Chains A and B, each alone.
Chain A
Amino acid sequence: MTGPDRPDDDALRRALADVDPAAGLAPLDASQLRRLQEDAMTDTRTPTTTSPALPPRRPARARSRRPLLAAGIALAGAAAAAAVVVPLVAGDDDPGGRPEATGTTVLEAPAVDPALGMSCAPVSADAVADSQVAFAGELAAYDGTTAVFAVETAFAGEPGKRVEVRQPAGAATGLAELSMGELVVGEEYLVAATGGYVATCGLSGPTSPELRAVYADAFGR
């Protein structure tokens, strides 16, 4: 895209290098390196970032959708561009089409790509603040492939009263394995989604004081 650095890039890089806070840092000596290496090889802790999941802020996958025929589709602003459908009525020849009841938002859990399983996105307010839909709700039903939430509090977007989160077609793992945590009917969950896909990897899951604090930080309530 940009090709080789331009000559004035060198000047820019030098200017930045002049304010490098680590410029005066003495390098590690061999014994320090050896100690670091041995500590890692003998450490029995569980690293905080090794669980397989999506990388941070992975853009939602583009997917095609058939034109939706629905009276009273009430989507506004940015939410209209998302694949969040309220309500959704699929065309007759849509093999995946499942007519929805009015007031239901349909989301999909993203398929886990093992090749991308380097580390979890950090669970932070920044990571959920841009979500097009976010809500707190009780898990009303779960059959292993579809989780139905009764929305109690909407933080972002217009999820309606009911939200269905579906396992992607052909996925080998259930929703619970898609980093949403254990799905227990009757429990309250915090769920965020963008582009029709649920934010997983700890960003959506059972309500806990920690996750609630993240949502409060992200949405101001």
Chain B
Amino acid sequence: MDPIERPEARAARFDVVVGEVAEPVRRYLARRTDPDTAEDVLAETLLVCWRRLDDVPAPAAPEDDGSPVVAWAVGVARHCLDNATRGDRRRWRLLSRVRAVDPPLGRAPAADAAYDDDPAARRVTAALAILRPAEAEVLRLWAWDGLGPSQVARVLGVSPNAASIRLHRAKQRLREALAQSVPDGTGDERSDAPPDRSRVKDAARRQPR
């Protein structure tokens, strides 16, 4: 970038970036943490975008794979959120020394609780919960954040090929998990009988990365 870029030009450039990334990053965070943390981390992410404006990828023509600018900003948000969560976990560890309870890891919202009256949605959340955290996260990035393999790769800091493979496998695993959770013709999709409750519980404890 131009080392003597005028402040107004830089501000105008940031205006474009904010317009493109603020909403997707806000939604990315809303899906993964509580509202207060999401607000703080969004502000910090935009601060990083401003400070590192010269590192923001150049806007590209819209494509199915998603925006590289959004993916870059989501990658920043991911790190900011990890930092925020790390502080939360440290505080929780101190608390756990006096209270023997399961960790409230707070990264993934308790979405399944919101679908008590929606068996199909409950089945999807249960299937998502038994995937490994990394698999579930590439699916979220793909389906919720609208990112294709190349941009998922940018977020996770892996090669596009690796992201593509991960996404492909995660889709397969989700399909398998959904198939296993289909009730045998009763139409009664009971929330107390997903494929493997111990794995569900274990997965629910873990955080997506």
Flag whether A78 is at the interface (Cβ < 8 A): no
From known contacts A16-B143, A22-B144, infer whether A1 and B47 are also in contact, taking CB-CB under 8 Å.
no
- Interface bits A46-86 vs B (CB < 8 Å: 1, else 0): 01111000011110000000000000000000000000000
Q: Kindly state whether residue A177 has any CB partner on chain B within 8 Å.
A: no
> Could you say which residues of chain A place their CB within 8 Å of the CB of B52?
50
How far, in whole Å, are A37 and B76 apart by their CA atoms in the complex? Answer: 16
Q: Is B168 an interface residue (CB 8 A)?
A: yes
Partner of A20, one of B51, B144, B174: B144
B31 touches A47 (CB 8 A): no
Question: What is the bound-complex CA distance between A36 and B20, given in angstroms?
Answer: 13
Q: Which residues of B sit under 8 angstroms from A12, Cβ to Cβ?
A: 143, 171, 174-175
Cα separation A120 to B86 with both chains bound (whole Å): 13
Cα separation A10 to B137 with both chains bound (whole Å):
18
Judge whether B142 and A41 touch: CB under 8 Å.
no
Docked complex Cα distance between A41 and B46 (Å): 9
| CB closest residue in chain B, given A27 | B23
Interface core residue of B76, B83, B115 (most chain A CB under 10 Å): B83
Instruction: Determine whether the beta carbon of A2 is less than 8 Å from that of B168.
Output: yes
B178 partner residues in chain A, CB cutoff 8 A: 15
Interface size class of B (residues with CB under 8 A): 35 or more
State whether A120 and B79 are in contact (beta carbons under 8 Å apart), knowing that A1-B164, A47-B48 are contacts in the complex: yes
Whether the pair B18, A122 counts as a contact (CB closer than 8 A) is no
Q: In the complex the two chains form, is A19's CB within 8 Å of B93's CB?
A: no
B22, B64, B80, B111: which contacts A19 (Cβ < 8 A)? B111
Interface presence of A118 (CB below 8 A)? yes
A18 at the interface (CB under 8 A from B): yes
Q: Tell me the A13-37 residues at the B interface (CB within 8 Å).
A: 13, 15-22, 25, 27-28, 33, 36-37
Quick check: B161 and A33 within 8 Å, CB to CB? no
What residue of chain A has the Cβ atom nearest to residue B48's Cβ? Answer: A47
Closest Cβ of chain A to B152, distance in Å, is 11
Q: Which residues of B contact A8 (CB under 8 A)?
A: 175
**Given A33-B19, A49-B83, is A21 in contact with B149 using a C-beta cutoff of 8 Å?**
no
Residues in A lying within 8 Å of B, measured CB to CB: 1-2, 4-5, 8-9, 12-13, 15-22, 25, 27-28, 33, 36-37, 39-41, 43, 45, 47-50, 55-58, 116, 118-124, 126, 210, 213, 217
Given known contacts A37-B15, A43-B47, A124-B86, what 7 new A-B pairs fall within 8 Å (CB)?
A1-B165, A2-B168, A15-B124, A36-B43, A40-B18, A49-B48, A56-B209
Closest 8 CB pairs of A and B: A55-B157, A122-B82, A16-B143, A1-B164, A40-B46, A49-B79, A22-B27, A22-B30
Residue ranges of B at the interface with A (Cβ–Cβ < 8 Å): 11, 14-15, 18-19, 22-23, 26-27, 30-31, 42-44, 46-52, 55, 64, 72, 75-76, 79-80, 82-83, 86, 89-90, 93, 109, 111, 114-115, 120-121, 124-125, 128, 139-140, 142-144, 149, 157, 161, 164-165, 167-168, 171, 174-175, 178, 209
